[in-house]
Amino acid sequence: FLLTFIIHGLTTAVNTNDFARILTRTHNQTLNLSDSAILTCHVTNLGNHHVTWLKYDRNTSTFLPLTVGEQVFLADKRYSVSYYSVSPDNSYWNLEIYNIQLSDEGIYECKISNRRQSVAIKIHLHVQIPMTIEPSRLYVEPGSNVELDCMIYNVNTSSITWHFSSYNYTYDYHHYDYDIHEKYQHEKNISKSQLIIRHAQPYHSGLWTCTYKRQKRSARIVVGKGL
């Protein structure tokens, strides 16, 4: 549409459709700890405007600028901006973060603005920690001992929880009256929680899940005769 301005008796029409556009859409991006992140912002009709990258700050509940154009405001050398054009009116302004850490997780915003208008998209960056459960599937006879190891890499933590799900119901396993032990070990940059079921019975059959923050890994246990 057109906006009309009257300046010193002159009528000027400005086509606001000529303002810059961001073709990248708001989305989630999940990477592993220590990976390199490339947050893409695809822009058209940038003209004389600048692309700004910001990150949401929980302490102030505002977005704080990280970069404007090719200038980076952070002392952290892991952050940089890469820029390239595919045509005069079509360019990419990517925020790159090397060796990402848990502190890099959050909401990032690519924004173009002037005094009259602005456009922006958000990228929700999630950093996940390498995590495994072993074994992931187990068939045992009644009375057997079962051991499950849940391992998290590059983090020293004891905040691993276990849950049991059977017949589409989920329970806190502490409600059951059977012999279960948890052991935590921290060695070689690995945190391990070991779940031990002594004298397993058919009612132990189901899905056992270890959880750390938003991450989950599950193991299927089947207890029965003749397995």
| 227 residues of the chain, pLDDT tens digit each | 444 433 344 333 444 468 999 999 999 999 988 899 999 999 999 989 999 999 999 999 999 999 999 999 999 999 999 999 999 899 999 999 999 998 999 999 999 999 889 999 999 999 998 899 999 999 999 999 999 999 988 777 778 888 888 744 455 555 454 445 566 677 777 888 889 888 888 888 999 999 988 899 999 999 988 76
At 135, give phi and psi (nearest 5°): -75, 160
Q: What is the pLDDT of residue 181?
A: 58
3-class secondary structure, 17: helix
Structural domains of the chain in order of their starting residue, each with its CATH number: 19-128 (2.60.40.10), 131-223 (2.60.40.10)
| Report field, pTM of the whole predicted structure over 0.85 | no
Q: What is the pLDDT of residue 173?
A: 54
Q: What is the pLDDT of residue 56?
A: 97
pLDDT digits (tens, 9 = 90+) for 131-161: 999 999 999 999 999 999 999 887 777 788 8
User: For residue 141, which of 218, 197, 216 has the smallest C-alpha distance?
Assistant: 197
pLDDT digits (tens, 9 = 90+) for 97-135: 999 998 999 999 999 999 889 999 999 999 998 899 999
Q: What is the pLDDT of residue 18?
A: 80
For 101, residues 6+ apart whose C-beta sits below 8 A from its C-beta are 33, 127
CA Rg value for the chain: 26
Q: What is the pLDDT of residue 226?
A: 78
Q: What is the pLDDT of residue 157?
A: 78
Q: Is the peptide bond before 88 cis (omega within 30 degrees of 0)?
A: no
